[in-house]
Amino acid sequence: MILINNEMPVLGMGTFRLEGDVAYNSVKMALELGYRHIDTAQIYGNEAEVGQAIADSGVKRSELFITTKVWNSNLNPHSFQKSVRESLKKLQTDYLDLLLIHWPAPENNEPMKVYLTELAKAKNEKLAKHIGVSNFTIALMEEALKTLPASQIFTNQVEVHPYLTNEKLRAYCEAQNIHTTGYMPFAVGKVLKDKTIVDIANNKGCTPAEVVIAWSLSNGLSTIPSSTKRSNLLTNLAGQSLKLSSEELNAINKLDRKERQANPDFSPQWDI
C-alpha cells in the first residue's frame, strides 16, 4: 500500500452521497477488501454509519486513516470544536487522522484566520493528528499561509480528474510542499466513457477506472473514489498497480476541459 508521508494511503474510499445502509455496507465492504483510508464529512450525514462500519469491521484503529470535514455552519468559535467532538462520537473514535475545512465559505462570513485558528486548536487538543483544507484556490491558500505554516497543512482536497486536471493549483501546492488530494476522480462517471481512456484500457486489458486511478497516482495525487459495488472497489484497488507510459499520461492530460462537477453557489472564484 502506497502511503503519503508514511501515513495516508494514496487510495481512499470516498463516501460522498452515500447514506444509511448503503454507506454502512459500502464502507464495511471496502475495509474487508483492504481499504484503510476512509473519507467522510459532517455534511454527508453518514458519519455514524461510517463509524459503525469501522467498528464492525474488526480492523484495528491504528491501521486506519480517517478523514472528516467541518461544515460551513460550524466555522466559528462557538460551534467548531463542539462539531468536531460530535463527529468523533459518531465515528466512534478518539481522534481523526485528518480534519479538513470543507469549504472556505463560513455561513456568517467569519474571517479565515478565525476558523483556521480553530482548526489548529483541534490538532493541539489531539482531536486530529493532521489538519488541512478543501476547495481552496491559490489565492485562498496564500491567505491561509498567513495563519498556518505550510508544514501544518497536510493536504488541499480539491476536484481533480482528466476533465479538470487543476494543474495550476496542484503546482502551487507542490511548491509549498502541500499534498493534493483529488476528489471525484471519475467526474461522476463521465471520464470512464471517454474514448481516449477507453482505448488505453482496451490496450492494457483493464478497465477505464483502473486507467484513471493510475493516472491520478502517477500525477502524485491521492484520490478518494466512491463506490457501492464490490467489483468497482476491487477495480479501483487494482488501479494502484497499473503503469501508464508517458505517452498515455500525456494523452489523458490533454483531455482537460476545465469541466467542474462540484460548483455550489458558495464556491470561491476558481483558478483557471
Burial of 197 (0-12, 13-18, 19+ CB in 10 A): buried
Strand partners, 223: 11, 182
**Could you tell me if 101 and 68 are in contact, meaning their C-beta atoms sit under 8 angstroms apart?**
no
Q: Grid coordinates 467498528 are at which residue?
A: 55
CB count within 10 Å of CB 206 equals: 18
Q: Which of 35, 44, 172, 183 is catalytic?
A: 44
Say how many C-beta atoms besides its own lie within 10 A of residue 192's C-beta: 18
Q: Which residues contact 32 (CB under 8 A, 6 or more apart)?
A: 57
DSSP string covering 202-257? HHHTS-HHHHHHHHHHHTT-EE----S-HHHHHHHHHGGG----HHHHHHHHTT--
* Residue 44 bears catalytic tag: yes
At residue 70, φ and ψ (nearest 5 deg) are: -85, 130
The CA distance from 231 to 119, in Å, is 37
178 within 8 A of 144, measured Cβ to Cβ: no
Active site residues: 44
